[in-house]
Protein backbone atom coordinates (compact mmCIF):
# COMPACT_ATOMS: atom_id res chain seq x y z
CA UNK A 1 0.00 0.00 0.00
CA UNK A 2 1.19 3.54 -0.73
CA UNK A 3 2.93 5.24 2.23
CA UNK A 4 0.27 7.92 2.79
CA UNK A 5 -2.54 5.34 2.59
CA UNK A 6 -0.78 3.16 5.16
CA UNK A 7 -0.37 6.10 7.53
CA UNK A 8 -4.04 7.09 7.23
CA UNK A 9 -5.22 3.49 7.60
CA UNK A 10 -3.15 2.82 10.73
CA UNK A 11 -4.13 6.14 12.33
CA UNK A 12 -7.79 5.72 11.23
CA UNK A 13 -7.72 9.27 9.87
CA UNK A 14 -9.22 10.37 6.56
CA UNK A 15 -6.72 11.48 3.94
CA UNK A 16 -6.80 15.20 3.23
CA UNK A 17 -4.55 15.13 0.13
CA UNK A 18 -7.10 15.94 -2.57
CA UNK A 19 -4.34 16.23 -5.18
CA UNK A 20 -3.60 12.50 -4.91
CA UNK A 21 -4.93 10.54 -7.89
CA UNK A 22 -6.18 7.87 -5.47
CA UNK A 23 -8.25 10.32 -3.39
CA UNK A 24 -12.00 9.88 -3.28
CA UNK A 25 -14.61 11.81 -1.39
CA UNK A 26 -15.80 8.87 0.70
CA UNK A 27 -15.19 9.11 4.45
CA UNK A 28 -16.04 5.47 5.17
CA UNK A 29 -12.91 4.43 3.27
CA UNK A 30 -10.78 7.26 4.68
CA UNK A 31 -10.95 9.08 1.31
CA UNK A 32 -8.55 6.63 -0.32
CA UNK A 33 -9.03 4.11 -3.13
CA UNK A 34 -6.29 1.87 -1.74
CA UNK A 35 -7.95 1.74 1.67
CA UNK A 36 -11.28 0.88 0.04
CA UNK A 37 -9.77 -2.05 -1.85
CA UNK A 38 -7.80 -3.17 1.22
CA UNK A 39 -10.92 -3.12 3.43
CA UNK A 40 -13.44 -4.59 0.98
CA UNK A 41 -11.45 -6.49 -1.65
CA UNK A 42 -12.59 -6.24 -5.27
CA UNK A 43 -15.45 -3.77 -5.67
CA UNK A 44 -18.53 -4.15 -7.85
CA UNK A 45 -19.42 -1.53 -10.45
CA UNK A 46 -22.18 -0.33 -8.14
CA UNK A 47 -19.74 0.14 -5.24
CA UNK A 48 -17.28 2.01 -7.45
CA UNK A 49 -20.05 4.28 -8.73
CA UNK A 50 -21.20 4.99 -5.17
CA UNK A 51 -17.69 6.01 -4.12
CA UNK A 52 -17.12 8.24 -7.15
CA UNK A 53 -20.66 9.68 -7.18
CA UNK A 54 -21.51 8.45 -10.69
CA UNK A 55 -23.96 5.87 -11.99
CA UNK A 56 -23.19 2.20 -12.47
CA UNK A 57 -23.85 2.66 -16.19
CA UNK A 58 -21.18 5.38 -16.40
CA UNK A 59 -18.66 3.18 -14.60
CA UNK A 60 -19.41 0.40 -17.11
CA UNK A 61 -18.84 2.83 -20.01
CA UNK A 62 -15.48 3.86 -18.55
CA UNK A 63 -14.51 0.22 -18.01
CA UNK A 64 -15.43 -0.72 -21.59
CA UNK A 65 -13.48 2.22 -23.04
CA UNK A 66 -10.46 1.27 -20.93
CA UNK A 67 -10.57 -2.33 -22.12
CA UNK A 68 -10.70 -1.18 -25.77
CA UNK A 69 -7.62 1.00 -25.21
CA UNK A 70 -5.77 -1.86 -23.51
CA UNK A 71 -6.55 -4.24 -26.36
CA UNK A 72 -5.32 -1.70 -28.93
CA UNK A 73 -2.11 -1.22 -26.95
CA UNK A 74 -1.52 -4.97 -26.71
CA UNK A 75 -2.12 -5.46 -30.42
CA UNK A 76 0.23 -2.59 -31.26
CA UNK A 77 2.98 -3.98 -28.98
CA UNK A 78 2.69 -7.47 -30.45
CA UNK A 79 3.01 -6.23 -34.04
CA UNK A 80 6.23 -4.30 -33.44
pTM: 0.74
CA–CA gap between residue 61 and residue 15 (Å, rounded): 28
Return mean pLDDT, the chain. Answer: 91
Kindly tell me if the per-residue pLDDT of 31 is higher than 70: yes
Contact 24/52 with Cβ under 8 angstroms? yes
Q: In degrees rounded to 5, what are phi and psi of residue 30?
A: 55, 30
Percent of residues in the chain assigned helix, strand, coil, to nearest 5: 65, 0, 30
Amino acid sequence: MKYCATECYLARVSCENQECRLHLDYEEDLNCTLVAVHKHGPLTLEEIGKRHHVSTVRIKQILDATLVKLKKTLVKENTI
